[in-house]
Amino acid sequence: MTDPWIALRRFTQARIALGRAGHAVPTQALLDFQLAHAQARDAVQLPWNIDAFAGQLRDIGEETLILQTPVSNRSEYLRRPDFGRVLTEESRIRLRNLKASGVDVALIVSNGLSSTAVERRGIALLQTILEGLRVRQFRIAPISLVANGRVALLDDIGSVLGARVSVIVIGERPGLSAADSLGIYLSYAPKKGNTDAERNCISNIHPPEGLSYESATKKLLYLIEESIRRGFSGVALKDEMDGLLAEGKPLIE
């Protein structure tokens, strides 16, 4: 008898319709599971080659600033999430010495929980984001690169720079379906002490299975423009992008 779930496998990366060998799953399905688990562990444990990443950005003409959190290694990063939410005092001084003024968008990149995601996808996503920001004539601070950062770091950096909006591109927690997914978080009027409720998130960025770079960038630009127009971000900022036509008119009055 044919398993009706088999036809649904083409629509999802989830482990469905694996079949069976006696009371267990087939050997190939077991090996695939073990490989995915190993890739997820590697994504978390591997360090990020931040200098090479900065070099790639410099090669395409982007200005970068490498900053640090108090985290000393990946083990400490996992055990002390609070360390990943703030900069070291030395890095804070370096930011202040930029004497940046009139910054619209502070752009930050961190490996977060997946160095693999940033290594594989970070440059391509950043190029798309930067192009969109410049078309809209946003003033962008030098890109802050911070190894072992947490999401809340965007408020710490954004507040020091005095940016209107702070954005962090960060490696997401890997799972058994994807170990190389990126997330983007946004905070309007960033300041230390902000909570997740004051931030917006775009997740699951890992084409072709997940969100494309172009779709993620369109969503981000929409949220930036709306947060500036309305004066807030987070749960109060409703995502109505899908309810607009291409020319910006609402589908339903």
- Distant-in-sequence, close-in-space partners of 77: CB < 8 Å, separation ≥ 6: 71, 83, 84, 148
CA torsion sign for 181, 186, 192, 198 is: negative
In this structure, the dihedral spanned by the alpha carbons of residues 81, 84, 85 and 90, taken in order and rounded to 10 degrees, is: 150
- pLDDT given for residue 94 in this prediction: 94
The two structure tokens encoding residue 247 = 């020319």
Q: Give Cα 243 to chain centroid, integer Å.
A: 24
90 is in an annotated binding site: no
- Distant-in-sequence, close-in-space partners of 146: CB < 8 Å, separation ≥ 6: 66, 67, 68, 69, 87, 91, 108, 109, 110, 153, 157
Residue count of the chain, please give it: 253
Give pLDDT tens digits for 15-49.
777 777 888 888 888 788 788 778 878 777 788 99
Judge contact between 228 and 189, C-beta under 8 A.
no
Of the candidates 188, 175, 166, 173, the one whose C-alpha atom is nearest the C-alpha of residue 106 is 166
Beta strands in 7-116 (DSSP E): 64-67, 105-110
The C-alpha atoms of residue 144 and residue 146 are separated, in whole angstroms, by 6
The C-alpha atoms of residue 216 and residue 214 are separated, in whole angstroms, by 5
Partners of 144 in the beta sheet? 65, 108
- pLDDT given for residue 245 in this prediction: 46
The single residue listed with the structure tokens 């994504």 is 43
What is the pTM assigned to this prediction?
0.87
- pLDDT given for residue 251 in this prediction: 46
Judge contact between 224 and 233, C-beta under 8 A.
no
Of the candidates 214, 221, 213, the one whose C-alpha atom is nearest the C-alpha of residue 239 is 221
Give pLDDT tens digits for 56-104.
999 999 999 999 999 999 999 999 999 999 999 999 999 999 888 889 9
Q: Domains of the chain (ranges plus CATH)?
A: 50-235 (3.40.50.11240)
Give pLDDT tens digits for 196-235.
999 999 999 999 989 999 999 999 999 999 999 999 999 9
- Distant-in-sequence, close-in-space partners of 22: CB < 8 Å, separation ≥ 6: none
201 is in an annotated binding site: yes
